Amino acid sequence: MVKQIWVVVQITLLFFVSLTQAIFSDEAYVKDWHLQSIGNEIKHVLTYKNNTELIVLSKDNILSYLDTENGDILYRQEIATNTEANELVYSTLDNDLIIYNQFNSDIENVIDLESGLKKHIDQASFDINAVTPIETPDLNKVSIELSENSKKFIIQVKDQVNNLVIFNNKLDISYFDTNSPSDLRINFVKTDLESNAFIFVITDISTEVIYFLQFIDNILENSWKRDNSVADIVAFTIIDPKVNVENLPNDFFTNTKPTNFQGLLSNYLNRVSTSLNQVKNYVFIERKLKITTFILDLFTEDKSAETVESRNLQFGFTKYLIAANGNGLLNCINMNSGEIIWKFNPFFESKVNGLASDLENLLIVVTENGVLYKFDITNLTTQPKLVSKDILKESSISKAVNLGAENILIEYGNGNQEIISTIPEYKPVDEDVIIKFDSEANKIIGYSVETSTKLWTYTTDSNTEKIISFTNKHFDEQTSNVAITYSKKSLFKFLYQHLLAVASYNSENDLMTIDILDTKTGLLIKSIELEKDEVVDLQSPINLLFGEHWLVFSYKSLKPVPEQKIGIIELYEKRSDVGKDKVVDSYSYIPEPEFSLNTYIFPEIISSLSLTKTKYGVSSKNIIVKLANGQITTIPKFILNSRRKVEKEMTAEDKLEPFMQPYYQVIPINDQFVVSHERDLLSLEKEDVFSVATNMESTTYICDLNRVDLFCSKFAPSGEFDILQSNFQRNQIIFTVTVLAVAMYFVEPMVKLRQLKLKYYID
């Protein structure tokens, strides 16, 4: 009987998972968006396949194939090479693109042009004179100027030998996003005098838009432009627009809670009065009490742009991501649609190091030369306005780290630190300690926020043991202190917030250890050794991720078998510390918690880990996994369970525990869990994979941001339980309810009459 119940539970669970996690074809490209770039600043351009494709190599080593018909990206990959010394040559014999170091002539990469894949070539047999160098146009022979009436741009090309004009054409000034010829940089020009064809690739450096122009017989036959401003994003912040609150009662926004009945009654009456006024305004003013309009509203949905935008604002879907790229260009992007609302180039004197926003609609920008800019972003639909420009304590900034949306940690060139708060008298959530990792000294240091003094130092033997990864617990995460009950026993979550996890690897005994520290004191709470005699690949990503009472880790092992591992450590309060007569605060310090550990094999290399965030933390937690192949997938937390056992070891009571499944060594990738579906994302060394909560508990944003990609998708970890689906049949529901009401109206007297007859019937 128990076995039958367990089978039913498993089937139900699988149905639940497939029902709520799938990315269906009708949702793909609708609930998500993707802004692609081809890297920061074009260095080399090559036409391919009779001018039907452009091959572009950027200065930050992104090789891209573009369709010359419309500018779409066909293929991209990152090339590992020296950015300062790389040059391109083209082997016409083997159809290869060769990237070599011009200083020492060493081959750095060989790309098969047909497939875009890397090839191996013998360095000794390589002859630089046997291949064709990629010609770099003499830009002095190409010019773009304004016409005399300033209404057209004049593009002119001169012969490189005789200096004669071989091309002269005019384009309307509205074709480009700039009115200044100095903003237009010519990256590439190809001339074919036999067919009288000219191809231009031009970049507007003020907006970072790339233009493609193809002239045949002095006629513009083909042209397109693509926005490349999301390349090399160095800092970003997320802003929630203000909701119109004019019609809401004051007690919606006051922190004071009435303690007497009179105050509660007053607030309740205010709410009722406000609601009645809203209904009255809607019925008598907006709809003018037309019965036809009222009935029509019941059976139809208002899908006007204004109503949809208002609903998105109310649901918290309308959020704005403001990002700064390496050239100082600011982009404001609607996270619901991916639309770039505005671009703004203040032409900062140096590179942007940090962004933050406050509750008063100010955007804070910190540059590496020690200048702090404040911009007014009250109206997010228009470009920001400069409010002030302040000089910081030091003139050199090495790092600026966001501490939530409202604070920036400034690390100066001399090692000093300072927190810049955009809200007066506001401290970050973790108001005690800032963590800093010194990779050269192989140590982690905890600093006091208020005094910037060193509190504690964590270090290992640098000769044998190396710190390979660390992470601290996030204070903005919603947690649940509900006990986990199984086998008539209870486990209480270890919810202490000031935790730091440090992964170190001992090369002498091939042992990886995870130490859990108290960030207030630096004291070691727990040290956990992973599998012995397992050689860890230190060249592959090693990730740590803290949840409410658990820690997820991932690494690639080389021995005994090369495979990707993902594991989980769950922390619980000691049972000796919990009893009927003991009062325990789960958020306070409890010495040395109990732990359980499980590791699993994962079929793909994991690049980074993150966690889904929802408004109240009611939806199930999902681990966001960025793979080395660029895809983004998720793993429900109940699958990564440290207490899962092999099925033959599970007791009958174990099988009755909710969401408890037998332990299987491999966690496969389910296609229904792949958030990025068919999107072409790259996996680069520095990237941010994060989640942003909306006002709807069911829905969160999953975003991936790196040097060439900006991807966001709405995701429902437990299904959209608080949102009606787009195919919701309101007509059928209203018709069914109406029929039932009418039927009850006629049936009720008949039932009462029958009951009366049965009561007084005398045989």
Contact 510, 530 (CB under 8 A): no
pLDDT digit string, tens, across residues 406-444: 667 777 777 677 777 654 433 343 456 778 888 888 999
Contact 333, 340 (CB under 8 A): yes
Three-state secondary-structure class, residue 662: coil
Question: Mapped to the 3 state alphabet, what secondary structure does 538-576 carry?
Answer: CCCCCEEEECCCEEEEEEEEEECCCEEEEEEEEEECCHH
**Between 16 and 37, whose confidence is greater?**
37
The band of 178, judged by pLDDT with boundaries at 50, 70 and 90, is confident
Kind and range of the H or E element at 634?
strand 632-636
Residue 168 to residue 172: CA distance in whole angstroms: 14
Name residue 69's amino acid. E
Name residue 435's amino acid. I
Contact 80, 99 (CB under 8 A): no
Mean pLDDT of 390-411: 72
The per-residue DSSP string of 109-122 comes to EEEETTT--B----
Residue 532 to residue 274: CA distance in whole angstroms: 66
> Nearest CA to 495 among 469, 527, 473?
473
DSSP 760: H
**Between 38 and 427, whose confidence is greater?**
38
Can you give the pLDDT at residue 428?
41
> Nearest CA to 460 among 525, 536, 533, 513?
513
Residue with tokens 């930050």: 60
Residue 446 has pLDDT above 50, yes or no: yes
Mean pLDDT of the residues in the chain: 82
Can you give the pLDDT at residue 578?
55
Residue 116 has pLDDT above 90, yes or no: no
Least confident of 221-235, 320-334, 729-743: 729-743
Can you give the pLDDT at residue 601?
95
Mean pLDDT of 24-42: 86
Among 108-117, 119-128, 459-468, top mean pLDDT goes to 459-468
Neighbours of 167 (CB within 10 A): 19
Can you give the pLDDT at residue 325?
93
Least confident of 3-17, 225-239, 460-474, 664-678: 3-17
**How buried is residue 501: exposed, middle or buried, by Cβ count under 10 Å (0-12/13-18/19+)?**
buried
Can you give the pLDDT at residue 16?
38
Residue 604 to residue 618: CA distance in whole angstroms: 30
Residue 159 to residue 488: CA distance in whole angstroms: 88
Structure tokens at 445: 């240091």
pLDDT digit string, tens, across residues 697-720: 999 999 999 999 999 999 999 888
Mean pLDDT of 144-155: 86
pLDDT digit string, tens, across residues 554-568: 999 998 889 999 999
* Chain centre distance of CA 367: 23
> Nearest CA to 43 among 29, 28, 30, 60?
60
Residues in the chain: 763
Residues 6 or more apart whose CB falls under 8 angstroms from that of 302 comprise: none
Residue 255 has pLDDT above 50, yes or no: no
Please state, for a pLDDT cut of 70, what percent of the chain lies above it.
80
Mean pLDDT of 582-594: 66
Contact 716, 698 (CB under 8 A): yes
Can you give the pLDDT at residue 227?
95
pLDDT digit string, tens, across residues 297-334: 666 666 778 888 888 888 889 999 999 999 999 999 99
Residue 191 has pLDDT above 70, yes or no: yes
Contact 611, 692 (CB under 8 A): no
Kind and range of the H or E element at 210?
strand 209-216
Among 23-32, 83-92, 242-251, top mean pLDDT goes to 23-32
Question: Mapped to the 3 state alphabet, what secondary structure does 433-469 carry?
Answer: EEEEEECCCCEEEEEECCCCCEEEEEECCCCCEEEEE
Phi, psi of 265, rounded to the nearest 5 degrees: -65, -40
HSE-CB of 659 using CA atoms within 13 angstroms: 14
The band of 521, judged by pLDDT with boundaries at 50, 70 and 90, is confident
**Between 639 and 431, whose confidence is greater?**
639
Cα angle 554, 612, 314; round to 5: 165
Least confident of 442-451, 582-591, 636-645, 655-664: 582-591
Residue 9 has pLDDT above 70, yes or no: no
Structure tokens at 621: 């937690």
DSSP 174: G
Name residue 446's amino acid. G
Mean pLDDT of 671-690: 90
> Nearest CA to 553 among 495, 513, 525?
513
Residue 521 to residue 401: CA distance in whole angstroms: 23
Residue 632 has pLDDT above 70, yes or no: yes
